[in-house]
Amino acid sequence: IPLKSQLLNEAYIFIHQCYEELNKSEDDLKNRLSEVNQQILLSGTYKHTSEELEYGAKVAWRNSVRCIGRLFWDSLHVIDQRQLDTHEQIYNVLVKHIEYATNKGKVRPTITVFSPNNVRVWNHQLIRYAGYETDEGNMGDPDSIQFTKKCIELGWEPKYGRFDVLPLVIELNGETKLFELPDEIILEVNIQPPTIKSFDELKLKWYAVPIISNMSLEIGGITYSAAPFNGWYMGTEIGARNLADDFRYNLLPEIADAMELDTSNRSMLWRDRALLELNTAVLHSFKASGVTIVDHHTAAEQFKRFEQKEKRIGRPITGKWSWLIPPLTPAATHIFHNQYDEQELTPNYFYQKKPF
Ligand code: HEM
Ligand SMILES: N=C(Nc1cccc(CNC[C@@H]2CCCN2)c1)c1cccs1
C-alpha cells in the first residue's frame, strides 16, 4: 500500500502486530488491511473493532514504562463506550466504572474508552480530594488547588475540608459540564496503625481506587483522549508520597509527634521512622478493610515475573528506572540494581495538554 499518510503507516503497523499476536489468518489480515485502507482514504480515519480496541488497551498497559504493575496486563477489563454522545450518558458510565472497578474492595483493573478526539475528562483521577489555598495556609490536597479553583469557577460549592471528593468535569464537543459523585459509590479506608493508638486523633483516610482520567490512549494512530483506567494502589503511593510529601499532605511531623520521636535531630532518622509507621498503617488498614493493595516488595517481585515472562516470549522489556523503583527502601528491590530500555512503544498511554 503506498503509505500516503502517517495514519496509514501507524494503522498498518498496529493491525499487523495485533493480528499476528491474536493468531489471525492471513485472509483476516489482508481483508482488514484493505478495509482500513479504504476507510482512511475515504474518511481520513478508521474505526477499531472491539477486539482491536481491547488488545490495544492491554498492550498499551504492557508498554507503560513507568508501571511496576504490568504482570497483569492481559487481565484488564476493557469497556467500549465509544458510542456515547451526551454528557449525562458519559457521567453515568463513569459512575458505573467506579462501581465495577471498586467491586466492594476487590479492585478490578478496568478501562472505559470513549469516542476519540471529542471527549475530555478534566479531572486527574475520577476520585481525588480538593485542595484550597486559604489565608491560614493550605487545606486538603495541594496537588488539586488549580483544578479545585476551576471547579468553583464552573459553579462547584467548596466545603473547605481535608478530604472533599471533587466533582467530575466532562467536556464533550467543546461544551463542559460538572457532575457531583454520590457519596455511596466512593469507598474510602480509615488509616490507623497496627501499633500506635495515638494515630487515631489524626483522623487519616484515603480513597480505595486510583482511576487516572487525564491520560490519552494511543492505538494505531488513533488517540482516545478520554479513556480512564484504574488498577489498585501500591501502598507507598499513599504512605510515602500522597500523605508524606511536604507539598502534599505533609504528615510526617505530626506522625513523629504521635510517636513521641525527637524531631530536633535529623540524624535520628525520625522522618524515616515516621514513614515506616505510616506505610505499615496504610497496608494494614487497606487489608483490614478488605481493599486490594500491594506492598512495594510484592509489587517488585511481580514485576520481576513480568520481566521473566516477556523475556521467555521474546518481547522487549521496557521501563523507566526512576519511576519503577519504589520511594521506600528501593535498594531492597531487584529493580534498583537493574537497567531498563526506556523506549516508549505504541500502543501506549500518554500525557496530553491540559484542557483548562
Ligand atoms: C493492577 C495494579 C497496578 C499497580 C499496583 C500499578 C502501579 C503503578 C505505580 C505505583 C505507578 C507509579 C505511579 C506514580 O508514581 O505516580 C504506575 C504508573 C503507571 N501505570 Fe500502573 N499499576 C497498576 C495497573 C495499571 C493499569 C491497569 C494501567 C493502565 C491500563 C496502568 C498504567 C500505568 C501508567 C500509564 C503509569 C504511568 C503514569 C504517569 O506517567 O503518570 N497501571 N503504576
Ligand atoms: N496504582 C496506580 N497509581 C498510579 C498510576 C498512574 C499514575 C498515577 C498518578 N501519577 C501522578 C502522580 C503525581 C505526580 C507523580 N505521581 C498513579 C494506578 C492508577 C491507575 C491505574 S494503576
Q: Residue 119's pLDDT is what?
A: 98
Which of 61, 66, 75, 301 for a ligand 1 pocket mutation test, highest count of atoms within 8 Å of Cβ?
A: 66
Residue 351 has pLDDT above 80, yes or no: yes
For residue 70, indicate whether it is catalytic: yes
Cβ-proximal residues to 314 (8 Å cutoff; 6+ apart), any chain = none
Q: Residue 1's pLDDT is what?
A: 45
Average pLDDT over residues 213-221: 98
> 69-78, 118-127, 166-175, 191-200: lowest mean pLDDT where?
191-200
Average pLDDT over residues 81-86: 98
**Amino acid at site 305:** R
The count of C-alpha atoms lying within 13 angstroms of the C-alpha of 355, restricted to the half-sphere facing its C-beta, is 23
CA gap 311, 300 in Å, rounded? 16
Supply the mean pLDDT for the chain. Answer: 96
Cβ-proximal residues to 103 (8 Å cutoff; 6+ apart), any chain = none
Protein residue with least CA distance to atom 30, ligand 1 = 61
Protein residue with least CA distance to atom 13, ligand 2 = 143
Q: Residue 117's pLDDT is what?
A: 83
Protein residue with least CA distance to atom 9, ligand 1 = 67
For residue 232, indicate whether it is catalytic: yes
> 43-47, 116-120, 201-205, 339-343: lowest mean pLDDT where?
201-205
Supply 145's cell numbers: 488547588
CA gap 275, 294 in Å, rounded? 17
Residue 3 has pLDDT above 70, yes or no: no
pTM of the model: 0.98
**Amino acid at site 66:** R
Q: Residue 196's pLDDT is what?
A: 72
Q: Is the distance from the beta carbon of residue 144 to the nearest atom of ligand 2 less than 6 Å?
A: no
Cβ contact 347:113 at 8 Å: no
Cβ contact 219:78 at 8 Å: no
CA gap 229, 331 in Å, rounded? 29
Q: Is the distance from the beta carbon of residue 233 to the nearest atom of ligand 2 less than 6 Å?
A: yes
CA gap 221, 6 in Å, rounded? 8
Q: Residue 200's pLDDT is what?
A: 75
Residue 2 has pLDDT above 50, yes or no: no
Q: What is the pLDDT of residues 284-322, one digit of tens each?
A: 999 999 999 999 999 999 999 999 999 999 999 999 999
φ/ψ (deg, to 5) at 349: -105, 135
Q: Residue 202's pLDDT is what?
A: 83
CA gap 334, 308 in Å, rounded? 13
Average pLDDT over residues 55-81: 99
- If one counts every other C-beta atom within 10 angstroms of the C-beta of residue 106, the result is 10
Give ligand 1 pocket residues (Cβ under 6 A).
61, 64, 66-69, 72, 76, 109, 111, 229, 231-232, 234, 237, 294, 299, 323, 349
Protein residue with least CA distance to atom 24, ligand 1 = 231
Query: 70 C-alpha vs ligand 2 centroid, how far in Å?
Result: 13
Query: 350 C-alpha vs ligand 2 centroid, how far in Å?
Result: 12
Q: Residue 5's pLDDT is what?
A: 85
Q: Vertex 136, ends 132 and 137: CA angle to 5°?
A: 50
CA dihedral of residues 328, 333, 338, 340 (deg, nearest 10): -60
DSSP codes joined into one string, 262-284: -TT-GGG-HHHHHHHHHHHHHHH
